[in-house]
């Protein structure tokens, strides 16, 4: 994602969840949290790693409340799963989710968009339903 403080009002930018998988992946779910005062989601689509045959959802505009989030927070929940008998996503590098946002007002420094790192919501599983361990980082484009 770009440095948001440098974007003008009405600019669009993408928030991408990319992975470097060390093992096969079959299911995933999470929540992208955004400050609805500063930005609004425009589109959400499956990343290139998630097969077209997999079930994929990422509804926009959810005002689901989650404890501990600041006022004005909104969520783009996402989930994907392979269907019975389908092959898992092979180990490798690629994208799981791409969400396009538009700025509603100038974005001060800080996080207007982030992936909620909470084990109850951010989960990756193998084809046996076992949770996969992971590390993650937030990267600004150009850095």
The predicted-structure confidence for 39-73, as pLDDT tens digits, reads as follows 999 999 999 999 999 999 998 866 665 567 788 88
Of 48, 65, 46, 49, the C-alpha closest to 57 is 46
CA distances from 99 to 33, 53, 84 (A): 11, 20, 27
Q: Is the pLDDT of residue 135 over 60?
A: yes
| pLDDT of residue 143 exceeding 50 | no
Rounded Cα distance between 117 and 110, Å, is 17
pTM metric for this prediction: 0.87
Domain 4-117: which topology? Immunoglobulin-like (2.60.40)
Helix (H) or strand (E) holding 97: strand 92-103
Task: Provide the token pair at 16.
Answer: 């991408």
Q: Is 23 helix (H, G, I), strand (E, B) or coil?
A: coil
- Between the alpha carbon of residue 124 and those of residues 103, 106, 115, 134, 135, the distances in Å are 30, 34, 14, 8, 11
State yes or no: pLDDT of 35 exceeds 50: yes
């Amino acid at each position: 994602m770009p440095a948001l403080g440098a974007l003008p009002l009405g600019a669009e930018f993408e928030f991408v969840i990319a992975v470097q998988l060390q093992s096969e992946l079959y299911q995933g779910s999470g929540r992208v949290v955004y400050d609805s005062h500063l930005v609004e989601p425009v589109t959400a689509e499956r990343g290139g790693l998630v097969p077209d045959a997999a079930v994929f959802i990422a509804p926009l505009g959810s005002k689901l409340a989650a404890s501990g989030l600041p006022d004005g927070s909104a969520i783009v929940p996402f989930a994907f799963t392979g269907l019975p008998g389908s092959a898992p996503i092979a180990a490798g590098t690629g994208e799981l989710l791409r969400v396009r946002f538009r700025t509603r007002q100038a974005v001060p420094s800080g996080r207007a968009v982030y992936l909620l790192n909470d084990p109850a919501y951010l989960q990756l599983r193998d084809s046996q339903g076992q949770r996969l361990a992971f590390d993650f980082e937030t990267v600004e484009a150009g850095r």
